[in-house]
Structure 1
Amino acid sequence: MVDVKSWDFSSFDGITLKIHEVGQGKPVILLHGLFSNAETNWIKFGHAGTLAEAGYRVIMPDLRAHGHSAAPHTADAYPSDVLIKDALALIEHLDLPDYHLGGFSLGARTTAKLLTTDIAPGRAILAGMGLEGLAGWDKRQGFFLKAIELRDTAKRGDPHWMAIQFMKSQKIDTVAAAHLLKTFSDMEPDAIEMITTPTLVLCGSEDRDNGDPEALANLLPHGHHVAVPGTHMSSVTKPEMAQEMLRFLSADI
């Protein structure tokens, strides 16, 4: 069992985010997926522990409207690309001279957009992400907003069923989540081609929820694709996820 420390961070607008960290050494900031949290995505299945045991300091925020972070109900608490603003505020606060950055699904979308700002992580990981997942957000937004709408009425077999059950298991505040879903903007291919950070595209072999990971890796100037076992939901439960993250972060490039 890893010793996880948690602390409160006041973001750019005063909203309180819960930050979890484990280990000592070179920092790795990891951003979790939609309707998840740091515990479910990174701690529960041993990924953070694996990295910490290898000599990394793993820093994992609960994103706004997720986990133990604040989930305000007012629309003005959710400006466009608010998760980008939160992450930049955290990175500035940490004032790290050298660090890595990664994320899963929504965390990967956020990471990719962060890589187009003036931050400079040593390496980046886009997990559970394909090329199409970085653009065309309207369709995905509509799906998840519909899942929220059907939260109490959908029956097993409905295409939204799994998302609804996951939301319920994570005790998601659906009012806050609906506000957050409307803040995401698309990322066009020409912006992806400008990313110079060495980047691992790490995706389940049966996961195409966010499009083609190989196409994404091929578009990135320094992209590298690795498949791990599983679907979008199950790949994050597999030890191979952490093993490949560690392999990439530790390799000579």
Structure 2
Amino acid sequence: MADELRTHDGLTLRYRSWSRDPDSTLPPVVLLHGFAADARLNWEGPGVVEALVARGRRVYALDARGHGGSDRPHDDTYYGESLMARDVGLLLDRVGADRVHVVGYSMGAVVAVLATARDGRISRLVTGGIGAGAVEVGGLDTRVMPPELVAAALTAEDAADAPERTRAFRVLADAAGGDRLALAAQIRAVHRDALPLDRITVPTLVLAGADDPLATRPEVLASAITGAELAVLPGDHLTVVRDPGFAGAVTAFLARG
């Protein structure tokens, strides 16, 4: 089922919800997708939603601003993970629970960290698809994914003209039916400040693909969050979420809280 939220700066965001037991007393789970994806592509297709629902969880997945069914302005001022974290707070208001678990992947993991540092309703956190870059450069690893090259790939007239190093993001955006100008605006506004990792005090699981160039040395991130656990699974940035172990690790970790 799809519903809408109105943001503080006038955008309309879409989110989806799933449940087999709407009266469940377990904390709801909020899923935050990665750059150029959307809720269905990142979470429903790989089976993460089904795995959680089968465990009796109510699940909510937000299409971030500029992505999926949400509004897609082309102005950079509407973007950045800090604004997206503020949007998560609005979704938590709508969910109306005192305790919520949050799972974020890639861009969504950065958003999840920012939201968890701000909002006491988040009682358990899973980050996926980020590693040492979250500690060393403040979010997605811009050393591997230079924003200017990603923007160039997204705005090139033809995919063949996109910089080879970042062409995969253009391919993903086209495959997902993304608005490339909106995505370019987000990547130009990507979070570059230090993440408030020292303010994460809830149980946290750091998930990473063994061959993910955007999540190298995930143990550095796990060490920067008090008490965080680490799980490394087979796959790269685009494939690890489809490994059965990914959904299994998420559901098992959240079931402990």
Q: TM-score, normalised by structure 1?
A: 0.89
Measure, in 1, the Cα distance between the counterparts of 2:51 and 2:80: 35
1:40-119 paired onto structure 2 within 5 Å: 40-78=41-79, 81-119=82-120
Q: 1:243: how far off? A: 0.3
Identify which range, 201-210 or 143-152, moves more after superposition: 143-152
- The equivalent of 2:246 in structure 1 is 241
Check the 8 A contact 1:11/1:90 in 2, yes or no. no
Measure, in 2, the Cα distance between the counterparts of 1:219 and 1:75: 30
Measure, in 2, the Cα distance between the counterparts of 1:197 and 1:72: 34
- The equivalent of 2:222 in structure 1 is 217
Q: 1:155: how far off? A: 5.8
Identify which range, 124-133 or 174-183, moves more after superposition: 174-183
Q: Which of residues 164, 175, 192 in structure 1 aligns to 2:181?
A: 175
Q: 1:180: how far off? A: 1.9
User: What is the identity percentage for the equivalent residue pairs of Structure 1 and Structure 2?
Assistant: 26
Query: What is the SS of the residue equivalent to 1:101?
Result: strand
- The equivalent of 1:184 in structure 2 is 190
Check the 8 A contact 1:50/1:242 in 2, yes or no. yes
- Structure 2 CA distance for partners of 1:142 and 1:194, relative to 1, 3 Å: same
Measure, in 1, the Cα distance between the counterparts of 2:47 and 2:81: 33
- Structure 2 CA distance for partners of 1:251 and 1:118, relative to 1, 3 Å: closer
Q: 1:187: how far off? A: 4.3
Measure, in 2, the Cα distance between the counterparts of 1:237 and 1:14: 35
Q: Which of residues 172, 194, 203 in structure 1 aligns to 2:199?
A: 194
Query: What is the SS of the residue equivalent to 1:162?
Result: helix
- The equivalent of 1:165 in structure 2 is 171
Q: Residue type matched to 2:85 in 1?
A: I
- Structure 2 CA distance for partners of 1:214 and 1:75, relative to 1, 3 Å: closer
- The equivalent of 2:12 in structure 1 is 16
Query: What is the SS of the residue equivalent to 2:15?
Result: strand
Measure, in 2, the Cα distance between the counterparts of 1:183 and 1:74: 10
Q: How big is the alpha-carbon RMSD for the aligned residues of Structure 1 and Structure 2?
A: 2.2
Check the 8 A contact 1:128/1:204 in 2, yes or no. yes
Query: What is the SS of the residue equivalent to 1:81?
Result: helix
Q: 1:228: how far off? A: 1.6
Q: 1:208: how far off? A: 3.1
1:147 aligns with 2:188: no
CA deviation map 1:123-176 (0-9, x unaligned): 100011102145256543223212213361536992222221111101111221
- The equivalent of 1:208 in structure 2 is 213
Check the 8 A contact 2:35/2:107 in 1, yes or no. yes
Measure, in 2, the Cα distance between the counterparts of 1:219 and 1:79: 23
Q: Residue type matched to 1:195 in 2?
A: I
Q: TM-score, normalised by structure 2?
A: 0.88
| Divergent runs of 4+, >6 A | none
Q: 1:200: how far off? A: 0.3
Q: Residue type matched to 2:7 in 1?
A: S
Q: Residue type matched to 2:73 in 1?
A: P
Q: Residue type matched to 2:86 in 1?
A: K
Query: What is the SS of the residue equivalent to 1:122?
Result: strand
Measure, in 1, the Cα distance between the counterparts of 2:72 and 2:58: 27
Check the 8 A contact 1:208/1:232 in 2, yes or no. yes
Check the 8 A contact 2:131/2:218 in 1, yes or no. yes
